[in-house]
Structure 1
Amino acid sequence: MLEKVTPLILTYNEAPNIDRTLQQLTWAQTILVIDSFSSDETLEILYSYPQVKVIQRSFDSFANQCNFGLSKIETEWALSIDADYVVTEALINEINGLPDSPEVNGYSVRFKYCVFGKPLRGTLLPPRTVLYRRCKATYQDDGHAHRVWVEGGLGKLSGYIYHDDRKPLSRWLWAQDRYMVIEIKKLLETPFNELSWGDRIRRTKILAPFIILIYCLVLKGGILDGWRGWYYAFQRVLAETLLGIRLIEAEKMKSN
């Protein structure tokens, strides 16, 4: 099965992460990377792997970047992962042993969030469809995120992917603020009754940070992870606080 799979990765200044990601993909004959003109050492690291094919494209949206990447893949299957994902050996072996089932066109995978390389007991990351038949998949933007829509049946894999982002806090803050601007557009333009319960809570601007703190520490067991659990919880609280501030700003500017 592995010979039918091409990993697809989007990059922009991912030098702190990309080498760990690529180390777990050396089984692939080709690794396709769509780079948004990185200015750090990302390209140097990418070119050190002979099976990596780099195509540079100016970033406009995550969905457009992914759909462009899919159009350049020649194998039947694509494995779409972020530049801070680490595919575990168990998942690699599971993919390699998948049966040829024509009725299944994609598989979802669970994640374990890492803080400085150590996985937490629980996170907010939901399972995500990452392995799919290229010709059956299309990406669409969803707020600051992007989702793949796969035609046909979907299966679930038992192996995990580690989300292990080691970029500095300043870069994380830059990315979160950028994401929140996009997320607010979705929250304000979607009718309230069409929003998920989570997004309805976010629209209150006040409740979300407190609920996220309790959810991460208590319901997800983060308090049992010691300072790493508190670190993750504080990150998520800060992200929701940024969203609330941006939401207030957007509503006031709209009313003036």
Structure 2
Amino acid sequence: MSFLDHVAVLVLTLDEAPNIGRALEALRDFPEIVVLDSGSRDDTLRIVAAFPNARIAQRSFDTHANQWNYGLFRCGIERPFVLALDADHIVPPALVEEIAHLSPSSATCGFRARFRYCVFGEGLSGALYPPSIVLFRRERCHYIQSGHTQRLVIDGAVVELVGVIDHDDRKPLARWFGSQQKYAALEARHLLGTPRDRLRLSDRIRRLGWLSPWLIGLYTLVVKRCALDGWRGWFYVLQRVLAETLIALEIIDRRRRVEATVIGQERRGVGAASAKKGR
């Protein structure tokens, strides 16, 4: 028996017509795909309906963690393993084959995959997109919210997959701008609301505000070698610098607002004290 028979694929969507067809086409060998949609108004659902191994569930979006947990435990999935993917994640045939031949021990709870970031279908030499646990035992995992996105809490050993998933988003740039503005607000709140000693070094740098965009630009160009990828590499670098700039602006704005509130309260307190003395 192929290990694919033990796996249900879970995909979240919202107006993913430019991506979902390519993603599902790559998943034809999986027997069960659940597409949890949060109110698409484009052709997403029509495209999904054309795939016989896919079914649609719907829920209004509130947070990433809640949406993923709803998909895991409230959408009728009974297979023991779940492959959790975004709609712009394309699983190459080599990785499908690797998953088909897995034989995990009872101690193995999840499998972590690396990602190849693509711009207009062409892979970059490197990117900031981190590896993540994408395949896991459903009953021994759940999601929690972390900043603007979710984090998987897993009870068991994690094994590295050899294959790489393509992150290949073809949605319009205007959609990306809108998403980044929302993410920046959530990420700034997370960075400022988390004690400094509980943040990773990279997040401590980001919490400074002004420094992160410059370092991210240099890091993606040189260390991740995006300078070697021509205009696609520069396109990606500009995206990352802009995303970090939005977060930096949110952090600076929130700090200044807090300072202005404190100063205002102090001035009102001084004014009230002076008025009492005058009486």
User: Offset of 1:147 from its aligned partner?
Assistant: 1.2
Q: 1:105-155: per-residue Cα shift (whole Å, max 9, x none)? A: 110000000000001011101110000011111111110111111111110
Aligned equivalent of 1:152: 156
Q: Secondary structure at the match of 2:17?
A: coil
Q: CA deviation at 1:100?
A: 3.7
Structure 2: segments with no counterpart, 5+ residues: 262-279
Q: Distance in 2 between matches of 1:123 and 1:51?
A: 32
* 2:96 paired residue among 92, 100, 105: 92
Query: In 1, distance between residues paired with 2:29 and 2:152?
Result: 24
Instruction: Name the structure 1 match of 2:46.
Output: 44
- After superposition, give the CA deviation of every residue in 1:153-207 in whole Å (9 maximum; x if it has no partner): 1101010000001111110000011111111111111112221111111112111
Extract unaligned runs of 5+ from structure 1. Answer: none
Q: Which amino acid aligns with 2:124?
A: L
What do you get for the CA RMSD once the two structures are aligned? 0.9
Which of 156, 170, 173 is 1:169 aligned to?
Answer: 173
1:189 partnered with 2:193: yes
Partner residue in 2 for 1:107? 111
- Residue among 11, 14, 17 paired with 1:15: 17
Count of residues paired in the alignment? 256
Query: What TM-score comes out, normalization by structure 2 length?
Result: 0.90
Match of 2:69 in 1: 67
Shift of 1:253: 2.3
Paired with 2:66 and 2:163, the residues of 1 have a C-alpha distance of 28
Aligned match of 1:251: 255
One-letter amino acid of the counterpart of residue 10, structure 2: L
State the 1:62 CA deviation.
Answer: 0.7
Q: Distance in 2 between matches of 1:36 and 1:121?
A: 33
Residue identity over aligned pairs, in percent, reads 46
CA distance in 2 between counterparts of 1:170 and 1:96 reads 38
Amino acid at match of 1:212: I
Q: Amino acid of the residue matched to residue 214 of structure 1? A: L
Q: Residue deviations 1:199-235, cap 9 Å, x none?
A: 1111121111110111101000101111111010000
CA deviations over 1:70-122 (Å, ceiling 9, x no partner): 11311111000001000011111111111241111110000000000001011
> Amino acid of the residue matched to residue 45 of structure 2?
L
Runs of 4+ in 1 over 4 A off after TM superposition: none
Q: Kindly state the Cα deviation for residue 41 of structure 1 after the two structures are TM-superposed.
A: 1.1
Aligned twin of 2:143 = 139
Query: Is residue 124 of structure 1 aligned with residue 128 of structure 2?
Result: yes
**One-letter amino acid of the structure 2 residue matched with residue 131 of structure 1:** L
Q: What is the aligned partner in structure 2 of residue 198 from structure 1?
A: 202
Pick one of 24, 27, 32 that aligns with 2:29: 27
**What is the TM-score when the length of structure 1 is the normalising length?**
0.98
SS at match of 2:18: coil
> Which residue of 195, 215, 233 maps to 1:229?
233
**Which structure carries more helix by proportion?**
2
Structure 2 letter corresponding to 1:111: F
